Amino acid sequence: MLPGVPLVADSPVLPMHFQKGSTKLRLFTTIATLGTPQDITLQELRIESFFPMDDETRDTFRNWAALPNRE
């Protein structure tokens, strides 16, 4: 895989790869649409969720979540 070259999607999952320094994240996303066609308010509501694609990404998020709250 070359940086900046888009991949051809050959599955219903399009992975997202991020890297900053030595931190690498691999995610996939889902989008849920709520409501029924008769309810215009709910019909326009969409929730996007991101999920880790590997153990390294999962562990990175768990480590970040365990950090003390910095307010």
The domain locations on the chain are 30-62
- pLDDT confidence of residue 14: 73
pLDDT in tens, the chain (71 residues): 445 555 555 666 778 899 999 999 999 988 887 766 676 666 677 888 899 999 999 999 999 999 988 76
> Distance between CA 2 and CA 6 in Å, rounded?
8
Tell me what pLDDT residue 45 has.
77
Query: Six-digit token pair at 45?
Result: 């509501």
